[in-house]
Structure 1
Amino acid sequence: MQLYGYFRSSAAYRVRIVANLKGISLDHHPIDLSKGEQRDSVNLARNPQGLVPTLITDDGQPLTQSLALCEYLDECYPDPPLLPGDAAQRARIRALAQVIACDIHPLNNLRVLTHLTGALGLSQDSRLAWYRHWVATGLTAVETMLEPHRGRFCVGDQPTLADVCLVPQVFNAERFDCDLSAYPTIQAICEQARCLPAFAKAAPEVQPDAR
């Protein structure tokens, strides 16, 4: 399988983590978001949204959207499961993942931030305030949601889809110097996860296209 992504894309980061957890070897193809390569005709043929990541399956099918890719890999390679437990536990895991991937991330990805300072003419300070506001709003909710059911990780003692989403989001928050002191549970979980080889090998700073 082939993964088209960008080393700092949190969406591509999620898929790399899952592949590592499952022991899946992916051929990585960098798409440089800083140069706009995601919008060229070749990438648009793979991903009509002009985004990353795109996964090309072994039979040549292009699949998009990181949560869909994570669940695809989980269904094809069910051990270890990303969504363990009963229906209620799986719903909790999905809810945590979606707070991050569907509520925090879309408001703060590169195309939104570029639109704020480009077409809307916001200053860099205003752009940063926007970013930090939505990170704080989302992570405050996540911190509260974690407490009733967490173990070493978001839900229990093994990483799940929730951790796969949380670690890349915290990486991005750190890049933008967000104050994370109000989230001790989140910080503790990320510290645990980053010690695992599957997470460490997926980190942006160790990718071949990192710079």
Structure 2
Amino acid sequence: MTMPDTSRRGLLIILSSPSGAGKSTLARRLMAWDETLSFSVSATTRAPRPGEVDGKDYHFLDEARFKAMVRDGEMLEHAHVFGNFYGSPMGPVADAIEAGRDILFDIDWQGAQQIQKSALAPHVLSIFILPPSIAELRRRLESRAQDDAEVIAKRMQKSWDEISHWDGYDYVLVNDDLDATEAHLKTIVTAERMKASQQPALMDHVRTLQSEFEDSP
């Protein structure tokens, strides 16, 4: 099993896209490529469903606790959906980043904007996945055979709003070939891990080099 790289800080990797653009498939491939990657575990005020485990599937909180965490700045992002609150607790993500572990977020542009304004913004890598065409986006939604025509129509209506926020991301990939897009995604993550800002030990190393240089004859 691949071990976290404790010589660097972890990345908070955001993947966003309209439904059907391939985001979930790319996320799975990215995690298969590097087993140290993990999804952020969200918090919610809804009741657990049969088989769901607290801390694994969700952090299940009562509404008072959830709102207190939002008030105290302990949520990276949050939203109210169908009568329940959902959000991403900051603590576990901050701990992972300091331990050199990357955390993956599969969220929409609204959640991405909240995280990009948070205390962890310096460690955010945001990537938006675009479909090659609207016709192809519809074809992919229909070929999944998961939704009826009405649901697909709603997803298509929502897609333009999501696509219109493409320019709020660090990188944008057009997923016209899944294997090629996966390769680009891996290249981006590899390069971002090597940024000087993600390597806290560099300053000490440079000071050591300077000291050695000064002490040399």
Q: Normalising to structure 1: TM-score of the pair?
A: 0.27
TM-score, with normalisation over the residues of structure 2?
A: 0.26
Greater relative CO, 1 or 2 (CA 8 Å, sep 6+) = 2
Normalized per residue, which structure has more strand? 2
Higher helix share: 1
